[in-house]
């Protein structure tokens, strides 16, 4: 037990990494470490890395370079590197940065405390990368960042073979968690006051493939929605190729499921989708959107788009613009394609010049900005229920606005005062207000609050407590079939 030693976890990349970092923090605290005070150097610094984002390796080694003099000045300080880039680069990290003490992969998050102790005892770096997941990260202790919302993993890994993506090589094939375990974790969070959960997986709507139940995800949405006290359910990310109508029906019929969908498009060109190995085409994608909006007319749909994939022609790019114009996304994460070593796309002919990719990217961004703003203007005058957010605080000092998320996921800046007693609004509380103004990426509600409900999550946040998951450090449940 490392009583008195401090730690800091730095997270890069996707929601799965955020989820893993909560587990890393929980493991370290279970081993006796405590979180370092902001501004202080920590005894253990953990870098939880991403291999997908552009220049991920440069960012890692740049950060390690900044940490070297800090470690030189602090005898006994340890540096650990985990996540996808650690899974990919392995011993290369210690070769390039020999002051690193521990390297661990995506499949052995739970080994971190033991590896730190072994590195201290042996006075040499410990590199442990395993090739297959044996224990779900969700079985491990967790220290969560939010008192009112939590990530809950339903699966890890991915069975798709998208030519631009390295995730399956680093996270492995899909492994599905038992429904009973998922529901037990959600129930534990709700018992601690959590109001919103996000079901998390690389491809959530293929959940159940491992135990042969194609309807498992729809069933899971309905079962999660029956948990008393849970007010909001979100999920990310689905894959259009395996998106089924029973999921749409479950979304529409389960009141707690939010009217929001993030569904990656990547390209509107059938030829590009074929080269990406995305296993769906434009018509199918737009059909899903039509059916979702038919069942939930006010659903906010967001997406991911890659611009400049190898071989993309101007006609291909125009097809993407056409789909974006037709789909009318509430928002989009747009990316300029760049090579990822180890992916098939990196070796494809037709790599596009940077200036061509940049020009197309700017055109796409301008179109989506126009659409997003138009969709937001349509919200003006509507009453919205907001779960008050933490971390963003006042929008600006002059107005004193706070921030919250509507049920459809839109960010709303609102005034907490002038409501005849509803001042004292806290993160985790729930308020109702009317949208008065729209911007491309957020809404404003400057009128009086219609209601303000104080919640247990707000109480917990005010007290400085966060939901925790104890986990089972010995005899943790193995991956298997559903309960």
- The structural domains of the chain, with segments of one domain joined by +, span 6-134, 137-377, 383-463
- Over its C-alpha atoms, the chain yields an Rg (Å, rounded) of 23
Q: Which of 232, 185, 236, 254 has its CA nearest to residue 457?
A: 232
Q: At 163, is the secondary structure helix, strand, or coil?
A: coil
Q: Yes or no: say if 437 and 429 are a contact pair by the CB < 8 Å rule.
A: no
Domain 6-134, CATH: 3.40.50.12160
Q: Which of 243, 203, 260, 200 has its CA nearest to residue 224?
A: 200
Instruction: List b or e across 23-48, with b for residues whose CB sees 16 or more CB atoms inside 10 angstroms.
Output: bbbbbbbbbebeebeeeeebbbbbbb
pLDDT at 44: 96
Residue 103 CB neighbours (<10 A): 25
pLDDT at 416: 85
CATH topology for 383-463 is: OB fold (Dihydrolipoamide Acetyltransferase, E2P) (2.40.50)
pLDDT at 133: 75
Domains 6-134 and 137-377 share a fold: no
Residue 161 CB neighbours (<10 A): 13
> Can you tell me which residue has the tokens 């491990």?
140
47, two tokens = 């870098």
What are the 10-residue block averages of pLDDT along the chain, 483 residues in total?
A: 83 83 92 90 93 76 93 94 89 93 91 94 93 74 86 90 86 89 95 95 91 93 98 96 96 98 97 97 98 97 98 98 98 92 92 97 97 98 95 62 96 76 80 97 95 92 68 31 30
| Domain 137-377 is found in CATH 3.40.50.300 | no
| The 102-104 sheet, strands edge to edge | 34-35, 6-11, 44-49, 78-83, 102-104, 126-128
pLDDT at 476: 27
pLDDT at 480: 30
Strands 402-406 and 196-200: unpaired
Q: Which of 275, 274, 297 has its CA nearest to residue 284?
A: 274
Angle at 122 between CA 116 and CA 127, to 5 degrees: 55
How far from 10 is each of 44, 63, 104, 105, 345, CA to CA, in Å? 11, 10, 15, 15, 30
């Amino acid at each position: 037990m490392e009583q008195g030693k401090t730690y800091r976890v730095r997270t890069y990349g996707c929601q799965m990494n955020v989820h893993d970092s909560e587990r890393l923090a929980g493991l370290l605290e279970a081993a006796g470490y405590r979180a370092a005070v902001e501004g202080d150097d920590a005894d253990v610094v953990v870098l939880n890395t991403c291999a997908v984002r552009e220049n991920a390796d440069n960012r890692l080694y740049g950060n390690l370079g900044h940490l070297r003099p800090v470690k030189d000045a602090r005898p006994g300080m340890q540096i650990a590197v985990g996540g996808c880039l650690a899974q990919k680069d392995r011993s290369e990290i210690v070769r390039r940065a020999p002051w690193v003490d521990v390297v661990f992969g995506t499949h052995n998050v739970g080994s971190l405390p033991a590896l730190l102790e072994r590195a201290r005892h042996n006075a040499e770096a410990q590199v442990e990368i395993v090739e297959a997941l044996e224990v779900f990260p969700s079985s491990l202790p967790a220290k969560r960042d939010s008192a009112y919302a939590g990530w809950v993993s339903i699966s890890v890994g991915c069975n798709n073979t998208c030519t631009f993506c390295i995730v399956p090589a680093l996270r492995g094939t899909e492994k599905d968690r038992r429904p009973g375990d998922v529901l037990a974790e959600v129930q534990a969070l709700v018992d601690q006051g959590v109001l919103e959960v996000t079901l998390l997986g690389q491809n959530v709507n293929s959940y159940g493939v491992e135990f042969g139940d194609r309807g498992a995800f729809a069933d899971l949405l309905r079962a999660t929605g029956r948990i008393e006290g849970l007010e909001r359910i979100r999920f990310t990310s689905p894959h259009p190729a395996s998106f089924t109508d029973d999921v749409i029906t479950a979304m529409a019929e389960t009141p707690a499921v939010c009217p929001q969908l993030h569904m990656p498009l990547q390209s509107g060109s059938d030829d590009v989708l074929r080269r990406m190995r995305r296993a769906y085409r434009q018509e199918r994608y737009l059909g899903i959107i039509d059916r979702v909006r038919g069942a939930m007319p006010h659903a906010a749909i967001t997406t991911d788009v890659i611009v400049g994939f190898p071989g993309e022609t101007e006609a291909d790019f125009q097809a993407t613009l056409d789909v974006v114009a037709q789909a009318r996304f509430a928002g989009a994460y747009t990316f300029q394609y760049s090579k990822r070593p180890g992916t098939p796309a990196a070796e494809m002919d037709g790599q596009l010049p940077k200036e061509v990719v940049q020009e197309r990217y700017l055109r796409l961004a301008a179109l989506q900005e126009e659409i997003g703003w138009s969709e937001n203007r349509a919200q003006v005058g509507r009453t919205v229920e907001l779960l008050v957010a933490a971390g963003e605080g006042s929008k600006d000092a002059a107005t004193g606005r706070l921030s919250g998320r509507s049920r459809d996921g839109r960010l709303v800046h609102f005034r907490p005062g002038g409501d005849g007693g509803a001042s004292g609004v806290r993160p985790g509380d729930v308020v109702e207000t009317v949208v008065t103004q729209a911007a491309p990426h957020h809404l404003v509600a400057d009128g009086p609050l219609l209601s303000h409900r104080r919640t247990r999550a707000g109480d917990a946040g005010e007290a400085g407590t966060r939901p925790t998951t104890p986990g089972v450090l010995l005899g943790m449940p193995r991956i298997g079939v559903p309960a």
